[in-house]
Chains A and B, each alone.
Chain A
């Protein structure tokens, strides 16, 4: 199975900060990476698919980049509603489509 190593596992940031979360795949997965946001008690929500495609209707402060094995989710100008846990997922080939361990973004 393809392993997704996500870092950091948690971070503290202030409103207005720029935040970057990374995922490293255990093999080349081209751009088959998605990013999800999950808030306590809520269902996960997709932010980015195909490494860099912003889901319709979401603010442009969310962006994704990378290809091959290294991927980044960037949030520019962090907003109060962005404090949540973020997960990467690879969808290369057939399942199992594995997830990173998650990054909890907390208020500093």
Chain B
């Protein structure tokens, strides 16, 4: 079964740090862009970061750039999100997901599949 499982969430203080992990099973992460998406309580889904299959290119949302670092270990089939300088507004369920694509001669469509079940991060003093 193709599956992603996040871990590492919990309760943290503002200014603190944590690292989320996302373990893949049933497929290899190595050939895919991987992303993190979060959802704060009562809010919508928000994309926050992506990383190229080789781990050398990463992109971030403005809200986390400079504080969060995405990385991957293809040998361990695992994606990571290092979260530093935590803020209350970082409280959310964090999902990892794989980017899929379908390309024709004229364009490529991208979507996210599968998604993990999410891990809850709560930041509060």
Contact = CB atoms under 8 A, between A and B. Distances in A.
Interface string A28-60: 001110101000011111100110010100000
Interface of A: 30-32, 34, 36, 41-46, 49-50, 53, 55, 87, 89, 91, 94-102
Nearest to B48: A96
B97 to A, nearest CB: 8
Contacts of A101: 44
**What class of interface size applies to chain B in its complex with A?**
20 to 34
Contacts of A41: 117
Interface in B17-73: 35, 44-47, 50, 59, 61
Interface stretch (B7-15, B82-90, B107-115): B107-115
B1 interface: no
Contacts of B115: 43-45
Given A53-B102, A87-B44, A32 B117 contact: no
B16 to A, nearest CB: 25
The 4 lowest CB-CB distance pairs between A and B, nearest first, are A50-B109, A43-B115, A49-B111, A99-B45
Contacts of A55: 113
A85 to B, nearest CB: 10
A78 B74 CA distance: 41
A42 B117 contact: yes
